[in-house]
Structure 1
């Protein structure tokens, strides 16, 4: 007997009920009389189809092995496992997924086989295994009732089953199992593609939100690599590596945007770290402005909004299927568009920040403050926001908005603003109008930075204990941005020299902040200041006055 792999039968715990008759004529299984001397060869292969035979009659196991000898499907042998009771089958089924199970009905009980069917379908939740019920007592399990009431895939009466009929039923069941598994793999692949596309979109969102183009593109590359190898969690761990290249027609003009896997070194060393064959295919792709592939790599071509050529190179195995190549091309097109749009947005935001700083420095110059004062206040404010757990996007908005805290001073007369001595009551009242003036100037604008600046301008002179101005707000009625800016502004004012006063020592500044915690300043913000003290002092050192 060739072409069948067998597992030894499990010992029987209970024999067949003596009332069950076997009716098997010799022309149907004419070799049955030789079974006692036949032992099928064992040929265990990892990819063999696993078939489970459940029957309490040892002769049925033997005749079934003989009937299925030589049967193959898709170049794979059968591996037949035996159980002589439903209880034994239950244990086997807990640890192994079978392609086909041939199940007798009457074993430990009249419905033992049918109970086993329920166990497989309902308890194990295994719906891939093809179940063929065989019985020598159809009166106990009528064909129509059994097929109607149980999730089975075949029904055979032993008295009518020939070797050909058995092989036909098993082969049909194997084909069905194979198709179910293929459909399951396809669904898993679709799910992996869906998840991967979602991750790529998340990466694009991160790129837009954080403006960290290299980090975002590296993440997108990682997600794409994971996607095209079927959902692996690491970058092309089995499929190879990937690289995105931007530049002109010559290798020396190429700029590596992101790389992974065996190409990771190119993130630091550029295209010189790429294998020669990879670099040649990239150059060919860019030169001829179309996709290329060879025995090792697949390279796809795209362009930025300004027409700058771009190439994406990946191991050829990762681009084996049409859907993978389409995903790669979709990624390249959208990544290029997103990168260009975000780069433009970054330029606009930097321009906005420059304008804010320019206006703030002009105001501070009128107040005889130094230009770096507003830069330090913005950086301090961002650091304190991060320390307090404020989302990074809001912390960046605060960094840009805080320098405008004194915008209202633009409307205060120089005679008051630059007066070296103490202000009169009338002059003090005029000076205390600057928060409301600043808020009025900033009203009517929808940009988040300007809305934040309006809040800060209006409330940065409020105090935690309610003794500030213009409205005498207290506690958390004062917006957190204004609470933070107040600490940042006062610390910078007392720790830096002015034309009318020397700088305080850091120790004196720290003592003052602690004394004013719960009075002038929010205790939570003061605590954050000291928790981030090293970062604060690093900013102070980096943005020293000229």
Structure 2
């Protein structure tokens, strides 16, 4: 039979992308059996079949050792049919243990096929080995084999979905933790972009975070808090941003509504009564697996924390201005002292720096000096 079916290398479908990496548009299935006829029949059944929109690519191993070599390659197998008796009476069972315990592959679905059920009793195998299904070769008709593959592939897909979601959630927590340790707005915004790109699995893109604030006179001030430029090339001046991107950001502020396409993701956040922010991400290629809902959750929290930092900085600036106004009032009483209060504050700042005091202490002593001078 093997002379008119398929070649052993079984690469009837091009499974690689242009950059040489494995394509995600196929399901790779491993057949481990020392009987060539079993491989031929399996290939005949699944010839040109597609499941869940992807072609099936079958790979043959005629021993457990050959199977190990394939499993250690760059190929991502979704499932495998494994014979029990090959080099030894329990070679298939040993292979299953190796896959789960040494290779640490818990996602691949494994179906045990045996022609000698007595050598591996079903009740014992199911309870002792991590397999998806157990079948004798005589019961695997074309219909049952097809059903078995559909079930295994769907199970593999669901496991990967859960695993990917868990990894994204871990990244979200790690990203949030790291950026919340930053207390400067510029550093926070930069850390936000870095972690957001990592979280979304984007290697290169154009990212902007823009904030608008309305003052008591209804004047709107706009600030570009962070930007990565065009696909990683950070512009020297924010004015170099294209008119098209500026227009999209302005329209989002007006419409107060975001948009997600194959070219870009843009979202609007109302962070306070008088302020709002827009996040813009432009893709170099259509994103694969980009989760806009995850980006929304992450970005909403980032925008709120960013707003809190801005308010904190504004409060500190107001306090500092008040101190200097108070110092100016003191100086006005004496022409001889001139800018004595400001000079004293600067000297305290320089002395604290020379003494290598903590940055927080240096800023505090500079701010507090005018107040201490007023009490004097």
Q: Which residue of 2 aligns with 1:90?
A: 68
1:117 and 2:96 aligned: yes
Q: Residue in 1 aligned with 2:130?
A: 151
- Partner SS, residue 51 of structure 1: strand
Aligned length: 356
- Structure 2 residue runs without a partner (length 5+): 16-22
Paired residues of 1:381 and 1:402 also in contact (CA < 8 A) = no
* Equivalence for 1:274: 241
Aligned residue for 1:242? 208
Q: Deviations over 1:218-263 (max 9, x none)?
A: 4434444544x24x5xxxx434322314357999964433322329
Structure 1 residue 129 displacement after superposition: 0.8
Cα deviation, residue 97, structure 1: 3.4
Please tell me whether residue 329 in structure 1 is matched to residue 300 in structure 2. Answer: yes
Q: TM-score, normalised by structure 1?
A: 0.56
Structure 1 position 381 matched with structure 2 position 373: no
Contact 1:51 1:78 in 2 (8 A): yes
Root mean square deviation, CA, Å: 4.0
Matched, 1:75 2:53: yes
Q: How far did residue 94 of structure 1 move? A: 2.1
- 1:188 equivalent among 161, 167, 177: 167
The residue number in structure 1 matching 2:120 is: 141
Change (3 A) 1:157 1:223: closer
Q: TM-score, normalised by structure 2?
A: 0.78
**Which of 26, 29, 38 is equivalent to 1:48?**
26
After superposition, give the CA deviation of every residue in 1:325-344 in whole Å (9 maximum; x if it has no partner). Answer: 34333433442243123311
Please say which structure displays the higher CA radius of gyration. 1
**How do 1:176-325 and structure 2 match up within 5 A?**
176-203=155-182, 206-207=183-184, 213-227=185-199, 229-230=200-201, 237-246=203-212, 254-262=222-230, 269-270=237-238, 272-288=239-255, 290-293=256-259, 296-302=263-269, 307-308=274-275, 310-315=277-282, 321-325=292-296
Q: Please give the per-residue CA displacement for 1:102-145, whole angstroms capped at 9, x wherever unaligned.
A: 11111111111111111011111111111111111111101111
Residue 291 of structure 1 aligns to a residue in which SS? coil
Q: Which range moved further: 244-253 or 90-99?
A: 244-253
- The answer on whether the counterparts of 2:264 and 2:282 sit within 8 Å (CA) in structure 1 is yes
Greater helix content: 1
More contact order relative to length (CA 8 Å, sep ≥ 6): 2
Secondary structure at 1:155 match in 2 = strand
CA shift in 2, pair 1:112/1:339, >3 Å: same
Structure 1's unaligned 5+ residue stretches are: 1-33, 208-212, 411-546
Q: Aligned-pair distance for 1:191?
A: 1.8
Q: Deviation per CA, 1:414-434: give whole Å up to 9, x if none.
A: xxxxxxxxxxxxxxxxxxxxx
Task: Indicate yes or no: 2:5 matched with 1:38.
Answer: yes
Measure, in 2, the Cα distance between the counterparts of 1:139 and 1:299: 62
